[in-house]
Every structure is written in structure tokens, then in C-alpha cells.
Structure 1
């Protein structure tokens, strides 16, 4: 009797992120899943991103979305709920941008479009991305800066201009294992918002990671991997 193949686990990166975001998940979960990190950088809408993933994905899969990738996961749930075996959201939201957040995005795009050197997630705004206790962690901050600079200005302008949609209805309709992960000190998508999201979509598995900010896959890989591993082991077909 042959062993059943490992499930496909699609890890969706966030704004100005690539597979480097998920480095420790790719290696750390290889024994329980076949991990794929799609390249979302060429696309200008969440719909295009979701369609590109669905075109390459296996017939059914587990999907986890980080930050912007969480919105892509929600779009996948709208387009092809029957293909999703389980869904996880990390440091993200199900709501449209508030007027304040939309104004912040416009201001950031205006600044980024001015020209000059594109710093990606530079040191000046790093303190809103990672926990204060990690700001002197040169390896971590260098990985983040290098990743965001590698993707560059055009990708930032495209991804920061995405129109985000409310995902509550699409996620409530799923009958699969759900998971929400958030850093205790996430300033971009605060833990309180993730608690509200969990209540809204009926997700009973919420993991708040202590001493972590927004970049949980990079800041707290052991905790993230443990939560994902447990989620992958939960019985299929149950929330």
C-alpha cells in the first residue's frame, strides 16, 4: 500500500514579498506538505493574482496568505471555494481599507513615484513592520530590506494600489479548517482586528504570537510552522 501524497500547500506572499518571506516554512514544513510560493508581482489586481494561482495550482490544495496574500486567498475563496481543502490567514484583514488607510496608501505611492533610490521597506519604517525587540537584529532587517528592494518601485506601486474587498461572506461559506495567525504587536494589521475577523468568519483557531510584529513568518518561524503544522493535521471538512 503506497503512502498518500503530501498535500499541496500554497503560501501567498504579501506586498513587496517573494519566496524569501516563507524561507523557513519552505524548509520547515517539507515533511508535511509540498510547498509552492507563487510569484504575484506581475499582476495589477487581486482577481488577476488569484486567477494566476488557480491556473497553476493542483485540483485541490491548502492555502495560506500573508498580509496582501490574505486578500488573494479571499479572492481564491470567491472564485473556486470547492478547490480549497483548508485556508489560513496571517497578519491580514478581511475588510476594505478605511479612508485613513486609503489616504496613507496614496501618500506612500506619491512618495515612491517621485524617483530617486527606492528603499523598499527601509529602516525608517521597519519599526512598524517588526517587533521593537528585533530592530537590532541585523540578519532579519537585512533580509526584509533586501527582499523589498529586489522587488522594487514598480511592484510596490502596483501592489499598494490594489483595491481590497471585504472577504467575510466568502470565508464564512467555507467548510474547511480555518486558521488565523497574528503577531501580538502587529501594527499593520493589529491583533484586535484579527480577533474581530475570527469572530466574523467563525474561525475558532486564532494564534497570537508573543513578541512578534507584522512579519511573523520571518520573525517567529517556529511558532508559525507549529501552528501551520497543527492546521494541516486537523480533520478535513470541518471548520
Structure 2
């Protein structure tokens, strides 16, 4: 709904600053809330001995909505933020008035992806995350076009990655590895759903985005040219325009 606040959850392994270039045009139209998720950015990691689960991250979001006295919001996220968005949808669909799924997917990890996440989590805990994490993630997160022609974006993403606490990085990887398939929750969602994806996203490619848009009962797909997996940083104007063009349709 057009009058509902918009909550946007960030990707891994960065924090809410990834939305900085998107916030201003969106805030001119609606209230925008961009929290750091547990263990990343400025948000501490509670219960470090508790088994990592995105269900706990979803409870964090619901607790934030309660604190802000928000009964219902348009909820969205990029990559891991999208996984958490779908976890909130599974837990409390009545709190979600619309979905914005950016460079994400509803399916669970493959066995290979899960193993890679657990390996990265162990490395973060034993070695820290300096240098190697950014070097490993930049080719995955950003399109070749962005990496070769936009050094400012590359530098921003590198700084965001390198500022994240190793414990939060490890927690996020283990929580994402354990996440269930959310396809059925998306299929049962009775709210408008916007799916945004970068043309060159290799992590959650346009085909996966198209499947989500088709699975949602009221889905809209926007593919942004030239961008990879972090469209809010690679194509912020495109992301903002996609959301703003879609928001008027939420007045139900």
C-alpha cells in the first residue's frame, strides 16, 4: 500500500549503507527504514552460541516493527535481505503489505553452495575477514562492467565488506546455509510483489527472478541492464525508479 512505510534489508556481507543512494528518492515519497542486521554494521550479534537461523533475523525485524509501532509495512531486501524478508513472510504474513525482492531467490541453497558458506564461515572465524573476503566477493557481487569501469563503486563495496565483524560474517553464512525453501510462502502471499534483478547477476540470475515474479500471485519483474548482484549500489537510480513506479499500485 502506498501509505505503508518501506523497510529495506541489506545484503551480505555489507550493511545498511548499501541503500544510501536509493534512500533519498524513496524518502521523498514514503517513510524508508533501513536497519543493520544482526552481527553486521552497527547491530551486535546476540546469543553468539545459539544456532544461526534467519528465523531469528526475522524476529529482529518484527521486534523493530513493534518498537516503531508499525502494524504493517512494505518489506524488502537484497540478497540475504531478501531471504530474511521471506522468513518474515513465513512467520508473520499479516505484517507484510507488499514485497520488494532484490537480487535474491526463494529457493534454499544447493549442497555445494551450503558447503561453500560453511567453509567461508570457518575461515572468517579463524583468519578474520581482511583482504580475502572482499577479493572473493567482489567478482561475485559486481558485474564485470561495474568492476572494469566504475572504480568508485568497487571501492565502496570493498570498504563495506572490510568493515564487517568476522563473527557477524560467520553467523550470516551459517544462517543462510540453514535456510529453508520459501517458494510456498511466496506462492501463498496475497500482496503485490516487486522483483528486481541485475541483468548480469550470476548469484540469483534473471531466470530465478522471473520464477519468483511468476510464483507470486501479483508479481512484477524489473531487470536492470549492466548490473550484477548489488543493484542498489550498481544501479541505484534504476532500483529507486522501479520501486517508485510500483508503489502507486499498492493503494489497495
> Larger deviation: 100-109 or 151-160?
100-109
Distance 1:131 1:117, change over 3 A: closer
The unaligned stretches of length 5 or more in structure 1 are: none
Q: 1:80: how far off?
A: 1.4
Distance 1:117 1:176, change over 3 A: closer
- Which residue does the alignment assign to 1:54? 62
Aligned partners of 1:81 and 1:174 also within 8 Å: yes
Instruction: Identify the match of residue 45 of structure 1 among 40, 43, 53.
Output: 53
Q: 1:105: how far off?
A: 1.2
Distance 1:125 1:65, change over 3 A: closer
Q: Tell me, in whole angstroms, the C-alpha distance in 1 between the residues paired with 2:136 and 2:36.
A: 27
> Larger deviation: 120-129 or 19-28?
120-129
Q: Which is richer in helix?
A: 2
Q: Tell me, in whole angstroms, the C-alpha distance in 2 between the residues paired with 1:115 and 1:104.
A: 16
Cα offsets for 1:48-104 (capped at 9, x unmatched): 111111112111111111101111111111121112111110111111100111122
Instruction: Identify the match of residue 123 of structure 2 among 111, 116, 127.
Output: 111
Q: 1:144: how far off?
A: 0.8
Aligned partners of 2:124 and 2:167 also within 8 Å: no
Instruction: Identify the match of residue 98 of structure 2 among 74, 86, 91.
Output: 86
- Which residue does the alignment assign to 2:244? 229
Instruction: Identify the match of residue 11 of structure 1 among 8, 11, 14.
Output: 8
Q: Tell me, in whole angstroms, the C-alpha distance in 2 between the residues paired with 1:189 and 1:11.
A: 18
Cα offsets for 1:151-183 (capped at 9, x unmatched): 121111000011111111212222211111111
Q: Tell me, in whole angstroms, the C-alpha distance in 1 between the residues paired with 2:121 and 2:208.
A: 25
Aligned partners of 1:120 and 1:145 also within 8 Å: no
> Larger deviation: 176-185 or 147-156?
147-156
Instruction: Identify the match of residue 200 of structure 2 among 168, 185, 202.
Output: 185
Instruction: Identify the match of residue 173 of structure 1 among 188, 198, 213.
Output: 188
Q: 1:133: how far off?
A: 1.2
> Larger deviation: 215-224 or 78-87?
78-87
C-alpha RMSD over aligned residues:
1.9
- Which residue does the alignment assign to 1:75? 87
Deviating above 3 A after TM superposition, structure 1's stretches of 4 or more consecutive aligned residues are none
Q: 1:143: how far off?
A: 1.1
The unaligned stretches of length 5 or more in structure 2 are: 39-44, 47-51
> Larger deviation: 166-175 or 59-68?
166-175
Cα offsets for 1:163-210 (capped at 9, x unmatched): 111111212222211111111110111111222222233453111111
Instruction: Identify the match of residue 200 of structure 1 among 198, 207, 215.
Output: 215
